[in-house]
Structure 1
């Protein structure tokens, strides 16, 4: 066996047993244990790890632990709390797949314009494989799901309420820079297309035709959308998030 000293910072402490929070902890590790193996054994999915220091030097999760190592772990993408400039951002907006318990969050992400897959019939292995194959962030409140080897990008969602979950994700991934409201179907995630009132007038209630001129059509599931009260509510939510 090997002993190493671990110190976790920020949101990572929420995953730890109470006795391990707020202080350095000496842990017995297998002689061939990697940093990833031991961090996950302590309850923290590898997707939640950002800066990893071993004996003061930047390290990777695959690094083997040695006797007396001093391991310091910071949360993933904590830098997103600071103001990001456009040049610091990835070249494309992040894409997501949400697990069965995050349907309301998936709907809000779609409303904000983010490509978000969701199906409450997805099994855990399929979710992990889909996230890996399509380079999507896997969103879940199941830490064991995020520990799967196939998962490269993921976010454990701490909040319980959908609005708070959306705010948490906006902060962590600086999503406000990518917002494109009402460009995706809330039901099936396909990109919406503008459609003339004349083409869909028979499908629109009279009271809506009298009040709205702009309509959007989903080419995948054939649904129609217009700027009703739920759109205004979403714009207010996004404004509160700085988008």
Structure 2
């Protein structure tokens, strides 16, 4: 390979150290290359997805992902997490929408349980997931770094935990979503909105006929999904879900 070898010093801060080898964490790292290189290319070559980066400094000045490095620069890379925790605000906007890859089915169900709009389809591949994330402005949640490094993906998070309950708690904490939670307002099966039916209405009477006879004997409160028509009521499954929600939120009280 011809040309001169150029070297830069880069330091990755805070939570982004998760993506580095243990011997590179919390330290200055020398990276050498031939010719020129963009900041985005350099950062992602180290395993850090661009969507988790909030701030980049090159020789102390603010820089974007398209900034071209020529050698001898010092680069500092900061995560979004630090800004989010300091602001205390929901950073997803008024409507928090997600799309999850095919390996996070349990997390998709739990986020819907918490009332979030979640796109989840086991029949689509990574390019389609990335496209939907970009077209519908959905936050992409995955454990696959390569998926988050696709250039069209603008918002996303690598899920660190393997336990689905802890994964949901991780998402809530990272995006400061606790005030946006609307328990059991979204259908777990189709992602449609759930509404309570008015007792005595034709729709209520129709829904009541769909539930088991023993439930009709005691239950007078029914809910329906406006997407798929599924009927819900507060049976033992409801209290199981409430217990799961409390685990995700780290609470012991009622909802």
TM-score, reference length from structure 1: 0.91
Larger CA deviation: 111-120 vs 12-21? 12-21
Aligned equivalent of 1:140 = 142
| Corresponding position: 1:53 with 2:57 | yes
Separation in 2, partners of 1:140, 1:221: 27
* Ranges in structure 2 where 5+ consecutive residues have no aligned partner: none
Q: 8 Å contact 1:4–1:67 — kept in the other structure?
A: yes
Q: 8 Å contact 1:34–1:62 — kept in the other structure?
A: yes
| Pairwise CA distance, 1:234 | 3.8
Aligned equivalent of 2:215 = 208
Q: 8 Å contact 1:159–1:165 — kept in the other structure?
A: yes
Aligned equivalent of 1:124 = 126
Q: How many residues align?
A: 241
| Pairwise CA distance, 1:241 | 6.5
Separation in 2, partners of 1:232, 1:46: 36
Aligned equivalent of 1:114 = 116
Larger CA deviation: 4-13 vs 202-211? 202-211
Tell me the secondary structure at the aligned position of residue 44 of structure 1: coil
| Corresponding position: 1:69 with 2:73 | yes
| Corresponding position: 1:3 with 2:10 | no
Larger CA deviation: 176-185 vs 192-201? 192-201
Separation in 1, partners of 2:248, 2:167: 13
* Ranges in structure 1 where 5+ consecutive residues have no aligned partner: none
Aligned equivalent of 1:17 = 21
Separation in 2, partners of 1:240, 1:59: 38
